[in-house]
Structure 1
Amino acid sequence: MADDASPWQRVRERLREEIGEEKFSSWFARMEVDAMTGESVHLSVPTRFLKSWIQENYLPRISELFTEESGARRRVDLSVRSAVARPVAVKTAVRREAPVAERAAAPRLRAVGAGATSAPQAASSPASSASTNANTLAASDMSSGSPLDPRLTFETFVVGKSNSLAAAAARQVAAAASGAAPVFNPLYLHAAVGLGKTHLLQAIAWAGEQHGRRTTYLTAERFMYGFVAALKTHSAIAFKDALRSIDTLVIDDLQFLKGNNLQQEFCHTLNALLDGGRQVVVAADCLPSDLEHLDERVRSRLAGGLVVELGPLEEELRLQILKSRYQTLTEQHPGFTVPLPVLEFLARSVGQSGRDLEGALNKLLAFNQLTGEPVTLEMAENAVKDLIRPCDPKRVRVDDILRIVAKHYNVTRADLLSQRRTANVVKPRQVAMYLAKTLTLRSLPEIGRRFGGRDHTTVLHAVRKIDRLLATDRSLADEIELLKRLVMEA
């Protein structure tokens, strides 16, 4: 094992760099190497949930990293280690944790005046008290939810034709008095990145509290971390009770919810809240039916409420957003002046989302402050030239790509989303991924999720492979052009 420790440490460090410290600590900190041979690596984690989640989301990537770091392809197995099989580690953990619990509980023992005659009882009390406090803190932490941005309120949300229905529904949900029956339940908002989903969800959370409703806003990632933390601290019941006792649960970015256990828990929580007359609001980047990695029961329950799309921002709405953001910037930077023709130019020419527009204004501010050059139309054209879109492209759906590619290559949509690796399926799948990357605004992780929950590295490999083949394979190039025309005409 001494010789094999180095590749394992390098794999850990690369994984940490790729996904960040917070995710690594939550999902991989307790993964250990049990054995290594020339052909295989045996890893273990302490819970079935961690095993299931890592297998579904990261095991192929871990296998790739081992191959790259050790120079040989090895099979990677993942198992749940048993506490019985590791008595030494368990004893060590107990010795290390007991003094902490005793120190934490010591002030309380002194406050109640515990004497020498009650020492045996006092010795058992701290552990119980610490466990209860941990459960209470975990539940409190979850009920407080993810942090809210004070700027994301209904007052700062700019309404136009493309988002008016979503905004009206969100306002009505948020305005409900405490104890009132939900009007739209669940309310499900979906849109591409940067069109206002998170803004509306956080506005609901802010307004709900003002109306006396116990409201919790959680990202799907925060929900996952909370569930894992509850399992670690044996406070799963407190976790569930904390979520099911609120008036309004707001879940953002549901497309990131992965893992069978997590989906089951979310399904139970969703059913408990809806059946109990509590309000649920959810946002994702696609329709409920397109969340293929979610259980059919969850998708059905979500689709049974009010489903509203926030559409692409029309030019008039983009201009209103720019004016609103510009007003905020002038309050922070009094000398910053942008003429109306420049704002109109940005509304016509820049980006597809509110974030693109805000980025363009920030770039003008930077140019103005760093160079001292006043903001003119000529200056703006030069400053944001890398953000200008050539035209308003048709909004292409991944579903249309899957349907057209499947028909062209005489395979099924299920084949494209499956794990099958036969040649008659692999090529169409890679072509479909390539088209999804080149014809849509979706990121690599988003495309991977739409293709059966694959990792973004799989999508990147497919895109690069098709790019290489197009340089030499004229027949494939003609096929791609035909498929592009069919998709754009769909």
Structure 2
Amino acid sequence: MFKSDGIEPSGQGQYSSAAARAAARAGLDREARASDADNAEAHPADARQSWERIRRRLRAEIGEEVYSSWFPRLELDGIQAGTVQLSVPTRFLKTWIQQHYIERLTALWQEEASADRVELVVRTAVMRAPGAVPMPVRTVATAAAPRGAAMETAAATTATLQASDAASGSPLDPRLNFATYRLGDSNRLAHAAALKVADAPAGSGPVFNPLYLHAAVGLGKTHLLQAIAAAGATSGRRVVYLTAERFMYGFVAALKSQSALAFKEQLRGIDTLVIDDLQFLQGKSVQQEFCHTLNALMDSGRQVVIAADRPPAELDALEERVRSRLAGGLVVEIAPLDEELKLEILAARVATLAQQHPGFNVPADVLAFIARNCGQNGRDLDGALNRLLAHNQLTSRAITLEMAETAVRDLVRSSEPKRVRVDDILRIVAKHYNVSRADILSQRRTANVVKPRQIAMYLAKMLTLRSLPEIGRRFGGRDHTTVLHAVRKIDGLVGTDRALAEEVETLKRLVNDE
């Protein structure tokens, strides 16, 4: 830096020579590292062979069913500086694989290619050269076009792929099939209807159209829907299983990419459409498209199966014409699990856990305690068993009734509320307003009878698990729309009329203390 006409300043020659040698060594090191990085990416054939061996090992380990459900669309994007980048087309798939298999994938890559880590990303839309190991998409995108154009093209193509992916259906859980579904009085009719639909041969007309299943959380709706989808696919029917959220996501992506027509045609060209969690379907345009798709499928003799957490009449977010069309099929409620069915489910879950954790066993008296005290649905039972498993595995304590009472005590405290009967509500409301039970159930429309009747209907809806049609039948055979009108009216008045709100709270306490 002090050089002039080739003459170095006094005292600086030794320093400059050492600096030059250090710089040269650093340059050689950088070149060596760059060369190593180039070599790591210069042999796509080796990387692809490693990936194929890993896929074969993974398929052998987890079985064909699980592999074909989750891994066919997992692709190798590249290897760089010891990091393997794998990609999938959707965030849902990324989340599931990351939660369940990322550690195993990392271990396999470490064994096969001495890779340090595995990174899982959501694939963007970039054309890849055939026969080559795909490289990270950010490199290709900047080389392909100016930044703005590349981003716009990638976004548009990504939206197209997202719409196409949504129309092709949500992944199925191979554990959710008819063989693993446990039967009881509460779900026997729903199971029989689902099995009838699933067993229909390819090319045959619909059995019940639509088949509409509704139940509270954790009672097996999704299990039956996925069982229908899996069984229909094996019998040659073109089946698409979608959550309502996925349907919305696909339709919005199709609108953005101007491929809405292709999205509609793809959905309407199937034999069976299965929609889960319909209560989450939001947005006027999405609901209109769902209604058009529903009409097109049913009018052309295609099967539609739907599940929600309430009957069609109570899906207030949906348009009336959609609710009416849904109610025109077979509507089946799955009731809360009885104790016998809970015991059967618990025994099956314990057997599954014992395969994963040898030595895990739950005595019969503990199972009976959980069935009797820990909730009304399958998820509550799973939570209780997971507590027992954790205590057993982490503390090495044998599972006894005393240990179970300690492990799940908070679940017992927050378990099912007192079961309220419609008859109790009728008796308490009639007494409070000084009218007879017969008056409330009659067709009389005088003010002194209408008010108690509507409040009783409101309480029946708020404090019991009964559906609107069931409540209507218990109130003198009234239509569900009458019950819905009463519930909405009292709900609105409670927010504005303080005196009425206090009356309703008093009646709630009386019913719950009964």
TM-score by length of 2: 0.56
Listed one character per residue, the Cα deviations across residues 318-337 of structure 1 (whole Å, up to 9, x for unaligned) are 10000010110111111111
Listed one character per residue, the Cα deviations across residues 349-369 of structure 1 (whole Å, up to 9, x for unaligned) are 111101101111111000111
AA matched with 1:394: R
Mean Cα displacement is larger for which, 214-223 or 139-148? 139-148
1-structure distance, mates of 2:394, 2:287: 49
User: Would you say the 8 A contact 1:396–1:488 is kept in 2?
Assistant: no
* Partner residue, 1:481: 506
Match of 1:394 among 419, 422, 434: 419
Q: CA deviation at 1:487?
A: 8.9
* Partner residue, 1:274: 298
1:151 partnered with 2:150: no
* Partner residue, 2:327: 303
Listed one character per residue, the Cα deviations across residues 102-152 of structure 1 (whole Å, up to 9, x for unaligned) are x749989xxxxxxxxxxxxxxxxx99x999976863553123211211211
**Pairwise CA RMSD of aligned residues?**
4.5
1:343 partnered with 2:364: no
Asked which structure has the greater RCO (Cα within 8 Å, sep 6+), the reply is 1
Listed one character per residue, the Cα deviations across residues 65-117 of structure 1 (whole Å, up to 9, x for unaligned) are xxxxxxxxxxxxxxxxxxxxxxxxxxxxxxxxxxx99x749989xxxxxxxxx
* Partner residue, 1:18: none
SS in 1 for 2:275: strand
* Partner residue, 2:388: 364
- What is the number of equivalent residue pairs in this alignment? 329
Match of 1:259 among 280, 283, 287: 283
2-structure distance, mates of 1:164, 1:252: 19
User: Would you say the 8 A contact 2:420–2:511 is kept in 1?
Assistant: no
AA matched with 1:393: K
User: Would you say the 8 A contact 1:188–1:282 is kept in 2?
Assistant: yes
Q: Which runs of 4+ in 1 moved over 2 A?
A: 103-108, 129-140, 389-397, 434-442, 473-479, 483-489
* Partner residue, 1:249: 273
Q: CA deviation at 1:176?
A: 1.1
AA matched with 1:358: D
Structure 2 CA distance for partners of 1:312 and 1:105, relative to 1, 3 Å: closer
Percent of residue pairs identical: 61
Q: CA deviation at 1:481?
A: 2.1
Match of 1:186 among 207, 210, 229: 210
SS in 1 for 2:233: helix
User: Would you say the 8 A contact 1:138–1:238 is kept in 2?
Assistant: no
User: Would you say the 8 A contact 2:375–2:416 is kept in 1?
Assistant: no
2-structure distance, mates of 1:131, 1:278: 34
Mapping for residues 444-463 of structure 1, pairs under 5 Å: none
* Partner residue, 1:353: 377
Q: CA deviation at 1:257?
A: 0.7
Listed one character per residue, the Cα deviations across residues 354-402 of structure 1 (whole Å, up to 9, x for unaligned) are 11011111110001111111000111111111111576633689xx99x
Listed one character per residue, the Cα deviations across residues 440-487 of structure 1 (whole Å, up to 9, x for unaligned) are 689xxxxxxx999xxxxxx9xx99x99xxxxxx999656412245469
Mapping for residues 81-96 of structure 1, pairs under 5 Å: none
1:377 partnered with 2:393: no
2-structure distance, mates of 1:167, 1:135: 37
1:328 partnered with 2:333: no
Q: CA deviation at 1:182?
A: 0.9
Listed one character per residue, the Cα deviations across residues 277-330 of structure 1 (whole Å, up to 9, x for unaligned) are 111000001111111111111111111111000001001001000001011011
Structure 2 CA distance for partners of 1:251 and 1:476, relative to 1, 3 Å: closer
The runs of 5 or more residues in structure 2 that have no matched partner are 1-90, 93-123, 132-149, 434-454, 467-482, 486-490
SS in 2 for 1:238: helix
User: Would you say the 8 A contact 1:255–1:284 is kept in 2?
Assistant: yes
2-structure distance, mates of 1:285, 1:362: 25
User: Would you say the 8 A contact 2:178–2:227 is kept in 1?
Assistant: yes
User: Would you say the 8 A contact 1:135–1:234 is kept in 2?
Assistant: no
2-structure distance, mates of 1:479, 1:278: 47
* Partner residue, 1:456: none
SS in 1 for 2:289: helix
Structure 2 CA distance for partners of 1:239 and 1:386, relative to 1, 3 Å: same
1-structure distance, mates of 2:371, 2:129: 63
Mapping for residues 223-242 of structure 1, pairs under 5 Å: 223-242=247-266
2-structure distance, mates of 1:324, 1:105: 46
User: Would you say the 8 A contact 1:220–1:252 is kept in 2?
Assistant: yes
* Partner residue, 2:188: 164
SS in 1 for 2:304: strand
User: Would you say the 8 A contact 2:163–2:249 is kept in 1?
Assistant: no
User: Would you say the 8 A contact 2:418–2:512 is kept in 1?
Assistant: no
* Partner residue, 1:204: 228
Q: Answer with 1 or 2: which has the greater Rg.
A: 2
SS in 2 for 1:148: coil
SS in 2 for 1:294: coil
* Partner residue, 2:313: 289
User: Would you say the 8 A contact 1:174–1:207 is kept in 2?
Assistant: yes
2-structure distance, mates of 1:322, 1:337: 11
